Amino acid sequence: MDHAADAYRTDLMTITRFVLNEQCKHPESRGDFSILLSHIVLGCKFVCSAVNKAGLAKLIGLAGETNVQGEEQKKLDVLSNEVFIKALVSSGRTCILVSEEDEEATFVESSKRGRYCVVFDPLDGSSNIDCGVSIGTIFGIYMVKDGGEPTLDDVLQPGKNMLAAGYCMYGSSCTLVLSTGTGVNGFTLDPSLGEFILTHPSIKIPKKGKIYSVNEGNAKNWDGPTAKYVEKCKFPQDGSSSKSLRYIGSMVADVHRTLLYGGIFLYPADKKSPNGKLRVLYEVFPMSFLMEQAGGQAFTGKQRALDLIPQKIHERSPIFLGSFDDVEEVKALYAAEESVNAFRSGACADA
């Protein structure tokens, strides 16, 4: 790559230009979706700025409140939540907002109401704020069902019904990864322009990876298939090389690496968290949507992640997502265990 020439490129594909180009492919479009995305992008820029100067502005540390998940809220969590709520409501294109930080869904007043529902985690991985590790915002967008007053049923839809999903990672650079259902594209914020520039067009995850990402501190509580898979990663029986373990503890950062380099990200159910720990609507669904759009897979241990129908807005689920072949191996281990259990049940019944 010619970095000197690259520094003076004038034909830049900004995220605004990219979204408008996509809009032109749909002549029936009224531009509502583009306006909504521009407000999400604005929220990401604001939070990026706040994250960068958090220490100087005394935004790190605890805010003294606890969110609906029972986690102590950071000052930056509270600020990020307010920023996104205000940005989304002021767009005039949303009707229901579900945030990780709020116990109840936010129903937008009728005068500012639009056709879209947005689910989001305003600052994922916020326990890492104080030590400078990458953190991020995760979001997903649904369209409300036909007419009438919006209800929670408009949000409690399977992930496959999402129109778009993405995340913005605040780290060494600010990177926004977005899918509107036709592939995955990555944009990097150019601070000198204040614009997100297309830097990772048409992201495709490798079919098989060399990295696995899991919190091994929970190993003693794992179920059989998860334990077998991780053992296989470390001590393969087929003569292949062992996989490398990489775990940051910030879902956005771990998934971003998995998306670019391949491999698998696991957050399984265990004895402590039998329903898993990650939230379905604003963590599992958006990341699963992106992974499938990039050619990977996402699996809950029982089914395709995007087929799950949530019953509550803060519902949790196990998740295995990443390269197609790696997730296929996990699926095979769960299928084998199911067969063994079915056989045992049959044998007991016959006895």
- Per-residue pLDDT of 146-171, as tens digits, reads 777 899 999 999 999 999 999 999 99
Predicted pLDDT of residue 276? 94
pLDDT above 70 (res 5): no
Dihedral angle of Cα 85, 45, 160, 148, to the nearest 10 degrees: 30
Predicted pLDDT of residue 71? 63
Tally Cβ neighbours within 10 Å of residue 64: 9
Whether 13 contacts 197, CB under 8 Å: yes
- What's the one-letter identity of residue 175? T
Predicted pLDDT of residue 187? 98
Q: Give domain 211-350's CATH number out of 3.40.50.1970, 3.40.190.80, 3.10.450.350, 3.40.50.2000.
A: 3.40.190.80
Q: Which helix (H) or strand (E) holds 349?
A: helix 324-350
Question: For 219-234, what is the mean pLDDT?
Answer: 96
Chain center to CA of 91: 22
pLDDT above 80 (res 280): yes
Q: Residues of CATH 3.40.190.80 domain(s) within the chain?
A: 211-350
Whether 177 contacts 41, CB under 8 Å: no
Lowest-pLDDT range of 128-137, 176-185, 208-217, 247-256: 128-137
Whether 142 contacts 154, CB under 8 Å: yes
CA distance 51 to 250: 15
Tally Cβ neighbours within 10 Å of residue 310: 21
Q: Is 110 exposed, middle or buried (0-12, 13-18, 19+ CB in 10 A)?
A: exposed
Comparison of pLDDT for 326 and 347, the residue scoring more: 326
Query: CA gyration radius for the chain?
Result: 21
Query: What are the two backbone dihedrals, phi and then psi, of residue 279, each rounded to the nearest 5 degrees?
Result: -80, 140
Predicted pLDDT of residue 1? 47
- CA-CA distances (angstroms) from residue 101 to 3, 70, 87, 111, 313? 42, 10, 16, 25, 12
CA distance 141 to 316: 18
Whole-number mean pLDDT of the chain?
91
Domain 3-202 has CATH 3.40.50.10480: no
Question: What percentage of the chain carries pLDDT values higher than 90?
Answer: 75
pTM of the entire structure?
0.91
21 contact partners, CB below 8 Å, separation of at least 6: none
Question: For 96-104, what is the mean pLDDT?
Answer: 96
Question: How sure is the predictor about 4, in pLDDT bands with cuts at 50, 70 and 90?
Answer: low
Predicted pLDDT of residue 81? 96
Q: Residues of CATH 3.30.540.10 domain(s) within the chain?
A: 3-202
Question: For 73-84, what is the mean pLDDT?
Answer: 87
